[in-house]
Structure 1
Amino acid sequence: MTIGFSLRAAVSTCAVCAAGMLIVTSPVAAEGRSGTDPGAQGRPSATVPQPALLRREGTQVRLRSGAPETPDVSALSWVVADAGTGEVLAAHNAHEQLPPASTLKTLFALTVLPSFPSGIQHTVSARELAGIGEGSSLVGVVEGHTYRVSDLWHGVFLNSGNDAVHVLAALNGGWTQTARQMQAKARTLGAMDTYVVSPDGYDADGQVSSAYDLAVFGRAGLRNPDFARYCSTVETAFPGNGGSTFEIANTNRLLTGADGVEPYPGLIGVKNGYTTNAGNTLVAAAHHGRRTLIVTVMNPQEGEGFEVYEEARAL
């Protein structure tokens, strides 16, 4: 994905005018032009002369007459985008570089998912579980047990399991190689604010992303059927001891309605996260009629731990 900005006066099906674009091009094509709208077949392409709009501080949105005001939310950075066209409908500090927490697992999945068929089975070694950060979220991967790759991905998306990430990264050539591949993948997608140190999103010096980049990752992920299926799974069985299984549930409360958070109608999922440095972060996508919207929220400054869901709901 490359970055371009629409200067059109209106978007026919939306109450707000486009503040920018998340645009799919090939890396080669991106070198030769500023970008084209992937949903623009049969209509004029967006013009893209000023890629500085979303670099500005503060909220960027052009409301049509009669449209509701932009919600007053406390997040340090957020983006609302159309997943189909790539249009950024509204944003606040879109390119501010912040710790992403487990929302970085979206980039991990984009990078590693295509490499291993879901039915492959793998027996976990102690070496593959070494180095998991203290206090990490875990799904319960155990040394010596055999798992399908699909089990591990369920652990990544539902429980945000850093143990599952470590095993998949080991299969992918190791922690450092996976981080390098994720960095390269981010750049090919046009995500220039992201720097990868720890593939699981665990706090690490220099590791940052942005609400814009996370929207890019979410949009790209939803185009992968496996990614879309995993991120929207509410609950599933995970292998346990002696051939048994236990239930794991998605920790995205907007999807599940857990802990008193009201489920959001039409929600697809994507990925939530939390670390001490990042605060609460969220990439969410929902169907609205014939369109799909992506919302990214980074580090609300007010409310309790579930405020990230309410601010995403408001946006």
Structure 2
Amino acid sequence: MPAPKNVFGRSLLIASAVALSTALTAPVALAAPKPSTSPSAAPPAKMSTVGGARLGRPGTQVNLASGVPVLPKDVTARSWIVADAESGEVLAAHNAHWRLAPASTLKMLFADTLLPKWPKTTEHTVQPSDLAGIGAGSSMVGIKEDETYTVHDLWLGVFLRSGNDAVHVLSAMNGGVKNTVAEMNEHAEELQALDTHVVSPDGYDAPEQVSSAYDLTLFARSGLQKKDFREYCSTVRAKFPGETKKNKKGKEVRETFEIQNTNRLLAGDSDVPVYQGIAGVKNGNTTNAGATFTGVAERNGKVLLVTVMNPQKDESNEVYKETARLFDWGFRAAGKVRPVGELVPPKSAAQASARPGPTASSGEAGGAADQVGRPGSDAVVSAAAGGGTDGVGVALGIVGGVLVLLAGGAFLVNRRWPLPDLVRRRPRP
């Protein structure tokens, strides 16, 4: 059974125009012309500067000072990042924009792109062509031809079992793999995830398919604005429809089987305990990528995102162990360490912050804040989670950060992205 649920919400910070003016008017660093889409053997001397100049430098970037804990020494990943999920501050990073093979962490972009398209109850009968082109040795949830599945079933297969078969069926429903890849690349550009080049929607190794720790963190942050995304990525185990068979009486029956999330910080393993406050997001592992993982966790009111790509230490579950060490550091350092960069907002939000908007009374601004900050329905983070797809795209997720302020009638986009109903807190072991 899934662990007991617990949800949290938080109200928006209604800050003054003076307090926000510097942050909101600061220029957003733009990427240099796109480099080669082939992963490099070593981090380039110059990488994208989206999010800040220091994030484009090779090596570890952190502002250590008095009172700031030292970074863990046993982190061997080729690239990693620790960021505040709500403010977007990057607390520390290592080769943040190094373009590497992403493996199944790319499914976060797939989900963020396609999740709003269908209600959970939409049904689809699988055709043989839906399952064509799945790479050899792919992770599969066990979808069968000529069987009917709901969209809810398919998303459980994507998030829990990292099922490439589920990805291909959803892609077929979306007009095919080619169309889905095009939409994913377009959405990555909207998110300013300019290190990313999608070739296969499931993250299976493909020539010139790359992303970065920075971009994967952007995908997670954007996806977490969607209620369904939050529910699926934090589901520990669920029932999945099996194959229709005839019983002893000759009657056709279709039983279910249990699937469990392959995220070891969420489900646990023999050498990895469940991480306190973990709430997703997505793991991956392929020959070219090695192990990759992006996680989100909450502790003492602080929500952090950590992405780890390709640990060089060859030990069981090393990617989760290194992620846990970075989470531990991040929670100790939060509020003490000066950030080295930021997670940028999508293009549409950045453009909106530069445009003048309508004035509104302080009462209207406060009402909007109360509405966004109010916890939503009790989202059961399990297969039993009901209700239709949120249908909220990235732009609507940003609405949670809109501030309408003060005498001048300035229209400002708050950098803070509240995450209502995000975390199903877990008790300490």
TM over 0.5, yes or no?
yes
Percent identity over the alignment is 58
Distance in 2, matches of 1:49 and 1:258, equals 41
> Which of 211, 214, 232 lines up with 1:212 in the alignment?
214
Contact 1:280 1:305 in 2 (8 A): no
3-state SS of the aligned residue for 2:298?
Answer: strand
- Which letter does structure 2 place at the counterpart of 1:62? N
The amino acid of 1:227's aligned partner reads: F
Deviation digits for residues 90-146 of structure 1 (CA, Å, limit 9, x no counterpart):
100000000000000000001111111111011101100111100000000000110
- 8 A Cα contact 1:39 1:84, kept in partner: no
* Cα pair distance change 1:227/1:210, threshold 3 Å: same
Question: Deviation digits for residues 185-233 of structure 1, max 9, x if unmatched?
Answer: 0000010000000000000000000000000001111111000100000
Contact 1:253 1:259 in 2 (8 A): no
State the alpha-carbon separation in 2 of the partners of residues 133 and 259 from structure 1: 29
- 1:296 aligned to which of 292, 304, 307: 307
Moved more, 131-140 or 60-69: 60-69
Question: For 1:55 and 1:95, how far apart are their aligned partners in 2?
Answer: 6
Specify the SS of the correspondent of 2:311. Answer: coil
Query: How many residues are treated as equivalent by the alignment?
Result: 278
Aligned to 2:151: 149
Q: What amino acid maps onto 1:123 in structure 2?
A: T
Call closer, same or farther: CA 1:258–1:192 in 2, change over 3 Å. Answer: same
Decide whether aligned partners of structure 1 residues 144 and 54 sit closer, same or farther in structure 2, where only a CA change above 3 A counts: same
Greater shift after overlay, 192-201 or 303-312? 303-312
Inter-CA distance 41–178: structure 2 relative to 1 (3 Å threshold): farther
Deviations 1:40-63 (A, max 9, x none): 843334244763220011111112
- Alpha-carbon deviation of 1:235? 0.2
Partner of 1:274: 285
1:74 aligned partner:
76
Give secondary structure in 2 for the equivalent of 1:187: helix
Name which of structure 1's ranges 115-124 and 38-47 shifts more when overlaid on structure 2: 38-47
SS of 2:77's equivalent in the other structure is: coil
Larger Rg: 2
Deviations 1:153-182 (A, max 9, x none): 000000000000000000011001100100
Counterpart position of 1:54: 55
Kindly report structure 1 stretches of 4+ aligned residues shifted beyond 2 Å.
38-51
Residue in 2 aligned with 1:134?
136
* Aligned equivalents of 1:39, 1:266: Cα separation in 2: 23
Q: Does 1:166 align with 2:186?
A: no
Q: 1:258 aligns with which of 265, 269, 275?
A: 269
**Aligned residue runs from structure 1 range 212-251, under 5 A:** 212-242=214-244, 243-251=254-262
More deviation, 183-192/236-245: 236-245
Kept in 2: contact 1:54–1:60 (CA 8 A): yes
- Residue 103 (structure 1) aligns with: 105
Residue of structure 1 in register with 2:96 after alignment: 94
CA contact (8 A) 1:95 1:193 kept: yes
* TM-score, scaled to structure 2: 0.63
1:120–1:149 Cα contact (<8 Å) kept: yes
Distance 1:63 1:135 in 2: 43
Distance 2:320 2:14 in 1: 32
CA deviations 1:226-279 (Å, max 9, x no partner) are 001000000000000232000000000000112431110000010000000000
- Superposed CA RMSD in Å reads 1.4
Aligned to 2:318: 307
1:158–1:249 CA contact under 8 A, matched in 2 = yes
Using the size of structure 1 for normalisation, the TM-score is 0.86
Question: Which has the bigger relative contact order, CA under 8 A and spacing at least 6?
Answer: 2
Which position in structure 2 is the counterpart of 1:35? none
Which of 114, 122, 125 pairs up with 2:124? 122
Which is worse superposed, 228-237 or 45-54? 45-54
